[in-house]
């Protein structure tokens, strides 16, 4: 689908010519006036003779032809400054930058309104899946009860491979990087920051509430081992990095990102590889399901270019502000089942001592698997609890960690409820 804009104006400035930048360039090169990169001497294997290429942002800003700037550098600095300067210079901006939109979105969107330019960012959440525009536009009549999903392609690719091929995280990460899915620093994917930025953006849109990053509970996938998939599977579950924003019975908003046990028989369990999925619950529409490629050059370019077409058609709608706002609640009161994998001494009475600590806080055990026996006399003990309150679980974990017969609590994964 080349030359989607079907006009000959060279009025676009492109910042970044990496995985996504190259895919965007490839589709609309005839409309691009100038391109910013970091390293001018890098070999790029693309025809660049008809554009100005520079490593100085001021060249793009001062290019009189440029009306719209597409930011595909990533990271906070200098992308934030470049977006801000572009808006102040009355240029429309399109960005795929979730970090900037999570940290500075409110400020930048207000600045764009003040300067009467567009700031669009569909590609910043869930790659190729249209999710921002539907929330702002097509679903604006709804009050939302929850938004939850798999919104990081890299970790979903890694978890899927770990589950299917019995590999460990470190063995699969390089593949996700080679495929262009990972952030330039993949810690952002693995430790969940990328998903945290994205759920912060979705929370602002769906719940009309500013959720700062420190109000979002965060755990990444680095403690998950391939054997957790085997044990989870025996219990009827798989493991996904889930981001959720939901309104509780006290009308408070809880926003969190953590690995979760997902029942094998719900659709979220079958979202595999680089696919992302977002499930939205609206008071009028009920549950809606969006699924597609959450990362990758072309899928992300699809979102970027759709924003460009929206600007060309002036088909842009700002957030409907009739919606109520919500106070944010902390993780302490969250109520769910828990999966724990402990490395314990293979002696009688271990389970009884653990059950006693749980019992002190009214936490009941629903099932137990005793697994791999190691040469050092330790064994894996997998425990699934009945639903309990997070604060009680954390207190129990502290006590159990100190038991002589417990060498280590190696993983604690929350079970997502689909009732």
Identity of the residue, 277 or 354, whose beta carbon is nearer to ligand HSE in the bound complex: 277
* Residue 298 token pair: 């072309």
98, 161, 198, 240: the catalytic one is 198
The least distance separating ligand HSE from the CB of residue 304, rounded to whole angstroms, comes to 12
Question: 189 contacts which partner out of ligand NDP, ligand HSE, none, CB within 5 to 8 A by kind?
Answer: ligand HSE
The answer to whether residue 56 forms part of the interface with ligand NDP (CB under 6 A) is no
The least distance separating ligand NDP from the CB of residue 51, rounded to whole angstroms, comes to 14
The least distance separating ligand HSE from the CB of residue 90, rounded to whole angstroms, comes to 28
Identity of the residue, 128 or 282, whose beta carbon is nearer to ligand HSE in the bound complex: 128
The answer to whether residue 74 forms part of the interface with ligand NDP (CB under 6 A) is yes
Letters for 82-121 (x = contact with ligand NDP by CB under 6 A, - = none) are --------------xxx-----------------------
Q: Which residues bind ligand HSE (CB under 6 A)?
A: 127, 152-154, 181-183, 189, 194, 294-295
Strand 92-95 relative to strand 119-120, pairing: parallel
CB closest to ligand HSE, residue no: 154
Q: How far apart are CA 226 and CA 224, in angstroms?
A: 7
Number of residues forming the site for ligand NDP (CB under 6 A): 27
Identity of the residue, 33 or 154, whose beta carbon is nearer to ligand HSE in the bound complex: 154
Phi first, then psi: give them for residue 91, nearest 5 degrees: -100, 140
The answer to whether residue 13 forms part of the interface with ligand NDP (CB under 6 A) is no
The least distance separating ligand HSE from the CB of residue 85, rounded to whole angstroms, comes to 24
Q: Which of residues 163-192 bind ligand NDP (CB under 6 A)?
A: 180-181, 183-184
* Residue 83 token pair: 């977006």
- Could you confirm whether 114 is annotated as catalytic? no
The least distance separating ligand NDP from the CB of residue 142, rounded to whole angstroms, comes to 26
The answer to whether residue 305 forms part of the interface with ligand NDP (CB under 6 A) is no
Identity of the residue, 154 or 378, whose beta carbon is nearer to ligand HSE in the bound complex: 154
Question: 128 contacts which partner out of ligand NDP, ligand HSE, none, CB within 5 to 8 A by kind?
Answer: none
The answer to whether residue 244 forms part of the interface with ligand NDP (CB under 6 A) is no
The least distance separating ligand HSE from the CB of residue 306, rounded to whole angstroms, comes to 16
Letters for 372-391 (x = contact with ligand NDP by CB under 6 A, - = none) are --------------------
Mapping DSSP onto H, E and C, the string for the chain reads CCCCCCCCCCCEEEECCCHHHHHHHHHHHHHEEEEECCCCCCCCCCCCCCCEEECCHHHHHCCCCCCEEEECCCCCCCHHHHHHHHHHCCCEEEECCHHHHHHHHHHHHHHHHHCCCCEECHHHCCCCCCCHHHHHHHCCCCCEEEEEEECCHHHHHHHHHHHHHCCCHHHHHHHHHHCCCCCCCCHHHHCCHHHHHHHHHHHHHHHCCCCCHHHCEECCCCCCCHHHHHHHHHCCEEEEEEEEEEECCCCCEEEEEEEEEEECCCHHHHCCCCEEEEEEEECCCEEEEEEEECCCHHHHHHHHHHHHHHHHCCCCCCCCCCCCCCCECCHHHCEEEEEEEEEEECCCCHHHHHHHHHHHCCCCEEEEEEEEECCCCEEEEEEEECCEEHHHHHHHHHHHHCCCCEEEEEEEEEECCCC
The least distance separating ligand HSE from the CB of residue 274, rounded to whole angstroms, comes to 7
The answer to whether residue 21 forms part of the interface with ligand NDP (CB under 6 A) is yes
- Would you tell me which residues interact with ligand NDP (CB under 6 A)? 16-21, 36-39, 42, 72-74, 78, 96-98, 123, 127, 180-181, 183-184, 295-296, 300
Q: Which residues are catalytic?
A: 198
């Amino acid at each position: 689908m080349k030359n989607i804009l079907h006009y000959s104006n060279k009025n676009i400035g492109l910042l970044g010519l990496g995985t996504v930048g190259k895919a965007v360039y490839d589709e609309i090169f005839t409309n691009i006036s100038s391109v910013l990169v970091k390293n001018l001497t890098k070999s790029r294997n693309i025809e660049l003779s008809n554009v100005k290429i520079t490593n100085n942002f001021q060249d793009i800003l001062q290019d009189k032809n440029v009306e719209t700037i597409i930011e595909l550098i990533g990271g906070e600095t200098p992308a934030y400054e470049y977006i801000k300067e572009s808006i102040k210079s009355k240029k429309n901006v399109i960005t795929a930058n979730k970090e900037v939109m999570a940290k500075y979105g409110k400020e930048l969107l207000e600045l764009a309104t003040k300067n009467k330019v567009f700031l669009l960012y569909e590609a910043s959440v869930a790659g190729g899946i249209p999710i921002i525009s539907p929330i702002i536009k097509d679903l604006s009549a709804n009050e939302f009860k929850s938004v939850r999903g798999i919104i990081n392609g890299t970790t979903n690719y890694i978890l899927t491979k770990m589950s299917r091929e019995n590999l460990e995280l470190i063995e699969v990460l390089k593949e996700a990087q080679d495929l262009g899915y990972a952030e330039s620093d993949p810690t952002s994917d693995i430790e969940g920051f990328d998903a945290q930025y994205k759920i912060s953006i979705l929370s602002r849109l769906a719940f009309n509430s500013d959720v700062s990053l420190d109000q979002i509970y965060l755990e990444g996938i680095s403690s998950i081992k391939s054997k957790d998939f085997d044990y989870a599977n025996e219990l009827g579950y798989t493991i996904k990095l889930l981001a959720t924003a939901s309104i509780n019975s006290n009308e408070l908003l809880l926003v969190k990102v953590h690995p979760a046990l997902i029942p094998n028989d719900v659709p979220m369990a079958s979202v595999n590889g680089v696919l992302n999925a977002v499930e939205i619950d609206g008071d009028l529409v009920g549950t809606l399901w969006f699924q597609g490629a959450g990362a990758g050059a072309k899928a992300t370019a699809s979102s970027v270019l759709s924003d460009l077409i929206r600007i060309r058609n002036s088909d842009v709608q700002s957030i409907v502000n009739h919606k109520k706002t919500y106070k944010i609640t902390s993780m302490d009161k969250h109520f769910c089942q828990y999966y724990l994998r402990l490395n314990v001494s293979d002696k009688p009475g271990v389970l009884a001592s653990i059950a006693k600590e749980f019992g002190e806080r009214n936490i009941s055990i629903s099932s137990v698997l005793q697994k791999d026996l190691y040469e050092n006399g330790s064994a894996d003990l997998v425990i699934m609890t009945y639903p309990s309150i997070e604060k009680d679980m954390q207190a129990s974990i502290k006590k159990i960690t100190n038991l002589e017969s417990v060498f280590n609590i190696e993983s604690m994964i929350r079970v997502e409820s689909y009732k």
